[in-house]
Each structure stands twice: as structure tokens, then as C-alpha cells.
Amino acid sequence: MDKKVLILCTGNSCRSIIAEALINAKLDAVVAKSSGVKASGKVNPNAKKLLEEKGIWQNEYHSKTLETVIDEEFDLIVTVCDHANETCPMFPKPTPKIHVGFEDPDGKGFEAFEVTYKEIETILLPKVKEVLGL
């Protein structure tokens, strides 16, 4: 049975989408979804381009609000920005939560997205595996 992880950010356009894609592509037995506390409604074009270049973009990745996932059961909630960590809502069921913050690449050049991708891959993925006992 796969473990379910929710990646939570403010806008759900960069960091959380990259984290969702990386977890789904690189962690066996883990299914990730992402959402935003105040979802922007769009995926940042640089984030999409990067994930396409890495071969892990999926058309179902999109910016979505918390309401679309609040009733789902997750094994772990991960906040990847300080604002989402501070405003993370209470979920109907008690769910373990961790915060691993990353600088927002939005509004910066493509290189900033590459740095964020690498940080998420090297810092967040091992942490998720550790917390889930994988």
C-alpha cells in the first residue's frame, strides 16, 4: 500500500509542484499530491519547463487549492514554504507534519529553479523517506 504525501505551499506553482513531481518520480511506494494555501491557479512556466527537461512532468500537475484535497487521508503533510507552515490548516484527521523550507524561485531566472530542484531532491526526499520509514 502506497504512502500518501501532501506537499503544501502558498501558491502551489513552483516548489510544491517540483516536490510533488520529484517524490512521484523518485520514491517507490509513495504517491504525492500538492496544493496551495492560496493557490495561484497556474504552474510557473519555469517549473514546468524544468520538470519537462528532467522527464518527470505529468499533465495532471496543476495549481490547486487546499479544498480539493482536505478530505483525503495522507500519511504525511510537508510544508515547503514558511507561510504555508504558519498557516497550515487543521486536517480532519491527525496527520504527521514536517516543514522543510525552500527559497521561492518565482520571479527569478531558470537557474533558480534548477537550484530549487536540486535542493528538494537532496534535502526533502531523504527526509520524507526517513519520516515514512522507507
Amino acid at 51: L
Question: How far is residue 111 from each of residues 11, 19, 50, 58, measured CA to CA in Å?
Answer: 20, 17, 10, 21
Q: Using one digit for the tens of pLDDT, what is the confidence trace for 70-118?
A: 889 999 999 898 765 666 666 666 889 999 999 999 999 999 999 999 9
DSSP state of 110: H
Active site residue 88: yes
Among candidate residues 25, 88, 115, 131, the one labeled active-site is: 88
Residue with cell 509542484: 17
Mean pLDDT of the 113-127 span: 97
CA separation for the pair 134, 123 (Å, rounded): 15
Q: Would you list the domain boundaries of the chain?
A: 3-132
Active site residue 81: yes
User: What would the CATH number be for the domain defined by 3-132?
Assistant: 3.40.50.2300
The lowest-confidence range among 28-32, 43-47, 93-97 is 93-97
How sure is the predictor about 40, in pLDDT bands with cuts at 50, 70 and 90?
Answer: confident
* pTM reported for the whole predicted model: 0.93
Among candidate residues 81, 100, 120, 125, the one labeled active-site is: 81
Query: So what's the pLDDT on residue 86?
Result: 67
**Under 8 Å between Cβ of 128 and 30:** yes
